[in-house]
């Protein structure tokens, strides 16, 4: 059935398939070639007069595609990329790659640091300029950078991200790229203006902005422009975050000053003396704040075994003294007298009516913290 003529194409097809499976165990390869080899021959026979290498490829796909589909269905790992020629790690290429990473990171730090980030400019300049000089001196260097294992890993990760759930977002963001190129050039120019006003720095930042604007579309075709484009993007992104960051904290601090976040230490004087409008001293008064909370303060009174710690809101505190036998005594009373100025503008009736309802001690808080009864005296 199969003429010698068809066999050459078929053998060629099978040979290419075998190559595409070459990294699998030998037993597997020979089993697959038994099966699939028979299949290819059979398909070739079916084509009959129509047979040609092209017809076979149309019917089955290229041998590489066939092999890939078979591997996927059989659960074999996908073919290792270029396993036969491991790229020799090239120092200069590696330096250029990691300089790009470092330069981009430093540019980001420079942007987000605002004025404080300015010294990082030196770091960015060293990395970026050195790499660009290197890349322009040796033509093949950029290709070597592309073949670095770290570059390949990064590319693979990006491709995977594009196929993942974020794929649509990435495609959408990519469509915004030209706008971003404009925005970042603007941000770079502005940052120079903010830093020094109109002067040498501003002129310099204008030049950089123009370069950044150019680098966006250029980097698509000439990867060397990435060494300008990526740090520019990182710097612009950092600057943007800096601007956002310097606007937001102001409002945040004003809005939510912690009123109840941390318990504010109430300052209660160590003792309080209260007099009525006639200058008569009042004793055993209980003090509350505007929320009805007792204005407790700590106090060492007398207990059964000498001094005793209390914390309540009963004022004035008695004076603590010791008698000749060393016993603790609490002495009440007010050690001084005052004269209350009589003012007609502040009549007693007015003060009574203007007493706000809040001064009525909420019963709940009283029941929660009843004034403690004196323990001794």
Partner 1 sequence: MDTSQLLKGVLDLAVLAVLRSEDGYGYDVLRRLRAGGLDEVGDASVYGTLRRLYNAGLLTSYVVPSEEGPHRKYYSLNEPGRQRLAESGRTWRSFAHTLDDLLGVVA
Question: What is the number of helices (H) and of strands (E) in the chain?
Answer: 14, 8
* Encoded tokens for 177: 């790229």
Residue written as token pair 């595609």: 65
Taking the complex as a whole, the smallest distance from the CB of residue 166 to partner 1 amounts, in Å, to: 19
Q: Which residues pair with 312 in a beta bridge?
A: 297
The verdict on 12 binding partner 1 (CB under 8 A) reads no
Minimum distance, C-beta of residue 68 to partner 1, in the bound complex (Å): 8
> To which residue do tokens 């976040």 refer?
261
| Shortest distance, position 156 Cβ to partner 1, whole Å | 22
Does 36 contact partner 1 by CB under 8 A? yes
Kindly state the smallest distance separating residue 37's Cβ from partner 1, in Å. Answer: 6
- Among 75, 140, 197, 326, contact with partner 1 (rule: CB under 8 A): 75
For residues 94 and 144, what is the distance between their CA atoms, to the nearest angstrom? 9
Query: Segment near partner 1 (CB under 8 A), from 37-45, 163-171, 239-247, 296-304?
Result: 37-45
Which is closer to partner 1, CB of 42 or CB of 311?
42
Binding residue for partner 1, selected from 12, 28, 50, 222, defined by CB under 8 A: 28
For residue 146, which phi and psi values (nearest 5 degrees)?
Answer: -65, -25
Cα 190 off chain centre by: 25
> Quick one: tokens of 166?
């974020």
For residue 298 the two structure tokens come to: 């700590």
CA 179 to CA 233: how far, in whole Å? Answer: 12
C-alpha dihedral (53, 54, 56, 60), degrees to nearest 10: 130
| Binding segment (CB under 8 A) for partner 1, from list 67-75, 104-112, 161-169, 219-227 | 67-75
29 binds partner 1 (CB under 8 A): no
Q: Which is nearer to partner 1, 32 or 132 (CB)?
A: 32
* Interface segment toward partner 1; rule CB under 8 A; list 59-67, 147-155, 157-165, 289-297: 59-67
Cβ neighbors of 271 (< 8 A, separation 6 or more) are: 315, 316, 317
Taking a C-beta distance cutoff of 8 angstroms, is the pair 67, 76 a contact? no
User: Which 3 state secondary structure label does DSSP give 282?
Assistant: strand
Report the residue from 16, 22, 23, 43 that binds partner 1 according to the rule CB under 8 A: 43
Please report, in angstroms and rounded to a whole number, the separation of the first and last CA atoms in the chain: 125
CB of 59 to partner 1, least distance (A): 8
Selected from 16, 22, 23, 37, the binder of partner 1 by CB under 8 A is 37
Which residue from 61, 178, 279, 335 is in contact with partner 1, where contact means CB under 8 A? Answer: 61
Instruction: Tell me how crowded residue 352 is: count the other CB atoms within 10 A of its CB.
Output: 8
Q: Which is nearer to partner 1, 74 or 161 (CB)?
A: 74
Of positions 2, 246, 271, 351, contacts partner 1 by CB under 8 A: 2
Smallest gap from Cβ 74 to partner 1, in A, equals: 4
Whole-angstrom Cα Rg for the chain: 43
If one asks whether residue 45 binds partner 1 (CB under 8 A), the answer comes out as: yes
Q: How far apart are CA 266 and CA 264, in angstroms?
A: 6
Number of residues counted as binding partner 1 (CB under 8 A): 28
Q: Pull the structure tokens for residue 268.
A: 């209660």
Q: Taking CB under 8 A as the rule, which mask of x and - marks residues 338-357 in contact with partner 1?
A: --------------------
Say whether residue 32 binds partner 1 (CB under 8 A): yes
Which spans of this chain sit near partner 1 (rule: CB under 8 A)?
A: 1-2, 28, 31-32, 34-39, 41-43, 45, 60-61, 65-75
């Amino acid at each position: 059935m199969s003429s010698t003529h068809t066999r050459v194409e078929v053998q060629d097809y099978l040979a290419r398939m075998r190559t595409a499976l070459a990294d699998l165990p030998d037993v597997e390869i020979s089993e697959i070639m038994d099966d699939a080899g028979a299949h290819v021959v059979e398909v070739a026979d079916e084509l009959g007069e129509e047979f040609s290498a092209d017809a076979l490829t149309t019917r089955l796909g290229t041998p590489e595609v066939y092999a890939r589909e078979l591997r996927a269905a059989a659960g074999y790992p996908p073919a290792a990329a270029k396993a036969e020629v491991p790229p020799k790690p090239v120092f200069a290429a590696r330096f250029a790659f990691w300089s790009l990473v470092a330069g981009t990171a430093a540019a980001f730090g420079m942007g987000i640091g605002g004025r404080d980030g300015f010294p990082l400019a030196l770091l960015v300049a060293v990395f970026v300029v050195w790499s660009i000089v290197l890349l322009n001196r040796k033509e093949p260097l950029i290709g070597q950078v592309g073949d670095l294992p770290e570059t390949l890993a990064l590319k693979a990760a990006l491709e995977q991200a594009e196929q993942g759930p974020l794929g649509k977002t990435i495609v959408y963001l990519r469509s915004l790229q030209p706008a971003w190129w404009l925005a970042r050039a603007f941000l770079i120019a502005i940052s120079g203006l903010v830093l020094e006003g109109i002067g040498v720095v501003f002129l310099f930042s204008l030049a950089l902005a123009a370069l950044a604007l150019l680098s966006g579309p250029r980097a698509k075709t000439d990867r060397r422009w990435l060494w300008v484009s990526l740090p520019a993007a990182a710097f612009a992104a950092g600057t943007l975050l800096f601007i956002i960051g310097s606007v937001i904290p102001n409002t945040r601090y004003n809005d939510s000053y912690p009123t109840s976040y941390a318990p504010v230490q109430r300052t209660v004087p160590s003792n309080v003396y209260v007099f009525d409008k006639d200058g008569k001293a009042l004793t055993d008064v209980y003090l509350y704040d505007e929320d009805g909370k007792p204005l407790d303060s700590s106090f060492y009174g007398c207990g059964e075994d000498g001094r005793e710690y209390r914390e309540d809101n009963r004022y004035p505190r008695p004076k603590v003294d010791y008698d000749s036998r060393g016993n603790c005594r609490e002495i009440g009373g007010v050690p001084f007298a005052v004269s209350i100025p009589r003012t007609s503008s502040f009549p007693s009736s007015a003060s009574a009516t203007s007493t706000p309802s809040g001064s009525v001690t909420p019963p709940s808080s009283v029941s929660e913290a009843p004034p403690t009864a004196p323990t001794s005296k």
